[in-house]
Structure 1
Amino acid sequence: MNRLPGLDLLRAIAIIWVMLFHSYIVGGLGPDFTWLSRYGWMGVDIFFVLSGFLIGTQVLRPLQRGEPLSFGGFYARRAWRILPVFAVVLTLYVCFPGWREAPGLQPWWQFATFTMNLLIDYGSNQAFSHAWSLCVEEHFYLVFPLLAWWLARQPSTARFAGACVAVVALGIVLRAAVWLHDDAINPPRNWYIEDIYYPTWMRLDGLLMGIMLATLRVYRPDAWARWQARSNAFLLGGVAVCCVAFWLFRDRTGLLANALGWPLMSFGFGLLVFAGADRQSLIGRWRVPAAGWIAGISYSLYLSHKLAFHFVQVRFGTTLQGHGMTAFAIYALAVLVLGATLHYLIERPFLRLREHRASLAGQGHTQAQGAERCTVR
């Protein structure tokens, strides 16, 4: 899929929003940024919708054409994309405790097996806790191709729609039940984070919304094109739905927000992604300066930004107190430098290696087909 400026813009907004939210670990960036950072945790859910849409399209297209799905190829591409820079950042956290934004860290094997979001003791081990979302993504990468392959064996609109409704309904019921149970017994731990916010089965709404968009694009291209002619209306609708979600999440840990807020918020972000996928929409028409670059390094930024925050805080934290714009500029510069360094030194070389190996594999496959044709003749 060619890069779409609208999706790059949404990805850039998402990573900046998340980093503004995480500035709480250094005491915040001052009152001028509070209104921006308060809901910054929602940036992760934009990533979930984008991931569901982009990965969903990648998996569903060969299935729609009746081609076999290369599970090995898919998992290998994801591994080359995700693991190298993740391994480097995890090594920094494990081997250099003084670099952590918080002293406690879950055992390394929980990060390596992407089970940290299911096992975390958040009260004691908050360092690198933002890797929880990567765990959710990895579970999605593992399960979705298998599920898509199974559903594609006998395509059925009714069955797909029923599965989507079931996932949303079960999520609402499960979050509400866990919230009511934990609120009643009030266990002596951060049960909201550990039981509702981090577990994969609680956070499927955004990924599902992205998959639904991908399914529409791949299996109903005429409807996709027809609706994209009204992409700006969907854009405005997405903004309106997101505003309602902001209102619901004014009490972020409340029952109503966690029962109904997640699917509503994901629907709003899904409308924004739908509009962003149209090159003629208000957000897809122009390339916003630096948005594409920030989107390109967003993965490295996400993994490493807390390390950069902590470095600046240790070196200059006292000096920067009370200097909102100056503090923002210095923290942002540190984050960009570290993230870009990881991207260009680790992430991109492995991506190039991935493409080189894929090219060699493609050449080998072509040569094998040629030899087979010669043999048959």
Structure 2
Amino acid sequence: MPWRIGLLMAIDCGIASIDFLSCCCGEGKPIHMVGNRIFGLDLLRAYAVLAVVYAHGYGLLSEVVPHRLYSLPTLDGVSIFFALSGFLIGRILLKVFATDHVAPADIFVFWCRRWLRTIPNFGVVLVLLIVGSVLLGQHLPDKLWLYFVFSQNLFSAHPNFFQEAWSLSVEEWFYLTLPVLLLISLRVSLFGKRQTIVMVILVGVVGVAAYRSVLALQLDIHSVEAWDAHLRKMVFTRFDALLFGVGAAYVALYKHGLVVKWKWWLLVAGLSLLVFDKVFMRVFFSQFYLNHFTLTVTAVGATLLTLGLSELVYQERNLISRLVVGVSKISYSMYLVHHSLVLWMLLPALEKHADEFVRVDSSAVVYLMYWFLTGVISIVLYKCVEKPIMAVRDRHFRA
């Protein structure tokens, strides 16, 4: 398939690794890696982005493939991203807060590293979408400036423009608030450092879940669309998904032996929860379950999956492992470009102009174009923006 060719191109060009975690996991025991990457987490990240891109591509095949059949291979990719992000961020922050004295400068370095990791790609895609919308005569949101501070879904439903940006807002605000919350809690707490961190995680998880339930009752949500807009895609309603990941990082750091012992059970439990939620919502749809439980169940499932895969051993370098790592490296770019830029802007424009020269009436051809364009643009964005910026970050802001 064209997108596989694109991935091989990326790998052959020798794209460098990102999100490198070199610290050991508890008592000096190393996480199993391929080279300098955690292969199990690369595998999870690659699956998550492919699941999201795959799911959004259904509209191109909706007339020829039943949705129930098409969606069989997919689990909740965004929940997996949240748990994975919380796990990785949790490892970094726990390392920072493990020192005797945490200075504001340490938090500032953490923020700079996160911002340099996420904002450049986001900014480039946002500008491309704005320019493209103006040239095509499409409507821009009234408060466009909110996108530049990740606040377009802070207190209201996310606009239709650049829809995938909703999850970026969740993560950016989480990166901003969690270190401050931990710093304040550790300075005022009467308990030990570890106990305080656990309390912050538990209170945050319970508090967010309770907030979602209260919000669902207040807004009287009775449809999947309203649930999606006001519960699933709002900033503060999804912090628990990342906090579960931070909790998993704590367990991996301080209870590493248990993670090694139970890794396969963690993997099975995580998959079981994600599959249960998907099957239950298909067969026994319940608005009550959707409003109050599904986001918690998928967050826990994704977290258990992340914890189990963080110990996945894969020593050999072969075509499969290289493909997995390659997709993982460009996953952030793929997530940013696949929907609004490729699916809703470039593909319609290309189809319109292609019809002037050759009749394009095959759903399969358009579907392959969707994957090909997503792969190629993601590779270009990674090599031209993300990789150079990451090199600058690692030179000037060392973890």
Same fold by TM (over 0.5)?
yes
CA distance in 1 between counterparts of 2:109 and 2:380 reads 28
2:117 — aligned with what? 81
1:348–1:94 CA distance, 2 compared to 1 (3 A): same
Matches within 5 A, 1:59-98: 59-69=93-103, 70-97=106-133
Q: Deviations over 1:42-72 (max 9, x none)?
A: 2111111011110111011132132425012
Post-superposition offset of 1:313: 3.4
* Alpha-carbon shift at residue 37 of structure 1 (Å): 3.9
Aligned length: 351
Structure 1 residues 118 and 252: alpha-carbon distance in aligned structure 2, compared to 1, 3 A threshold = farther
SS at match of 1:115: coil
Structure 1 residues 30 and 266: CA distance shift in structure 2, 3 A: farther
2:303 equivalent to 1:267: no
Identical counterparts, % of pairs: 25
Q: Give yes or no for the alignment of 1:194 onto 2:238.
A: no
Could you list the per-position Cα deviations for residues 186-206 of structure 1 after superposition, in whole angstroms to 9, with x for gaps in the alignment?
79x963333212212211221
Deviation track 1:216-238 (CA, whole Å, cap 9, x = no partner) reads 223x1xx2223313311211121
1:215-294 aligned within 5 A: 215-218=250-253, 220=254, 223-250=255-282, 254-280=287-313, 288-294=321-327
Aligned CA distance change for structure 1 residues 290 and 33 (closer, same or farther; 3 Å): farther
The one-letter amino acid of 2:232's match is: Y
Residues 58 and 70 of structure 2 are in contact (CA less than 8 Å); yes or no, is this contact kept in structure 1? no
Take 2:137 and 2:90, find their aligned partners in 1: how far apart are those partners?
34
RMSD: 3.3
Q: Which of 24, 38, 44 is equivalent to 2:78?
A: 44
The answer to whether residue 245 in structure 2 is matched with residue 210 in structure 1 is yes
Structure 2: runs of 5 or more not aligned: 1-20, 22-35
Matched, 1:116 2:152: yes
Please list the CA deviations of residues 120-145 of structure 1 after superposition, one character each: whole Å capped at 9, or x if unmatched: 565xx412021010000000110111
Residue matched to 2:16: none
CA separation in 1, counterparts of 2:385 and 2:309? 29
**1:5 Cα shift?**
0.9
CA–CA separation in structure 1 for the residues paired with 2:37 and 2:211: 37
1:212 Cα deviation from its structure 2 partner: 0.3
RCO higher in structure (CA 8 A, sep ≥6): 2
Q: 1:309 aligns with which of 343, 349, 352?
A: 343
Q: CA-to-partner distance for each residue in 1:240-272, whole Å, 9 max, x for gaps? A: 111222134337882212311112111111111
Q: Give the letter aligned to residue 133 of structure 2.
A: P
In structure 2, the partner of 1:130 is 164
State the alpha-carbon separation in 1 of the partners of residues 243 and 257 from structure 2: 21
In the alignment, is the contact (CA less than 8 A) between 1:110 and 1:116 conserved in 2?
yes
User: Counterpart of 2:128 in structure 1: which amino acid?
Assistant: L
- Look up the match of 1:299: 332
State whether residues 17 and 41 of structure 1, in contact with CA within 8 Å, keep that contact through their aligned partners in structure 2: yes
How far the C-alpha of 1:103 sits from its partner, in A, is: 4.2
Amino acid at match of 1:180: L
- Give 1:295 shift: 0.9
1:350 match: 389
User: 2:211: which partner in 1?
Assistant: 174
Q: Note if contact 2:186-2:196 (Cα within 8 Å) is conserved in structure 1.
A: no
Distance 2:319 2:288 in 1: 40
Map of 1:53 onto structure 2: 87
Of residues 315-324 and 206-215 in structure 1, the stretch that sits farther from structure 2 once superposed is 315-324
- Corresponding residue number in structure 1 for 2:182: 148
Which secondary structure does the structure 2 equivalent of 1:31 belong to? Answer: coil
Bigger fraction of residues in helix: 1
Change (3 A) 1:338 1:264: same
- The answer to whether the Cα contact below 8 Å between 1:18 and 1:44 also exists between their aligned partners in 2 is yes
- Normalised to the residue count of structure 1, the TM-score between the two structures is 0.81
CA shift, 1:14, in A, is 0.7
The letter of the residue matching 2:391 is R
Query: In 2, distance between residues paired with 1:235 and 1:48?
Result: 17
Cα gap change, 1:161 to 1:83, in 2 (>3 Å): closer
Q: 1:120 to 1:103 in 2, by over 3 A?
A: farther
- TM-score, structure 2 as length reference: 0.77
Match of 1:105, as an amino acid? P
Whole-angstrom CA distance in 2 between matches of 1:161 and 1:286: 41
Unmatched segments (≥5 aa) in structure 1? 363-377
Q: Does the C-alpha gap of structure 1 residues 115 and 302 become closer, same or farther in structure 2, counting only changes over 3 Å?
A: same
CA displacement 1:284-339 (0-9 Å, x = unmatched)? x9963411111111111111112122312332388665544x44322111100111
The residue aligned with 1:369 is none
Question: Which amino acid in structure 2 is aligned with residue 173 of structure 1?
Answer: A
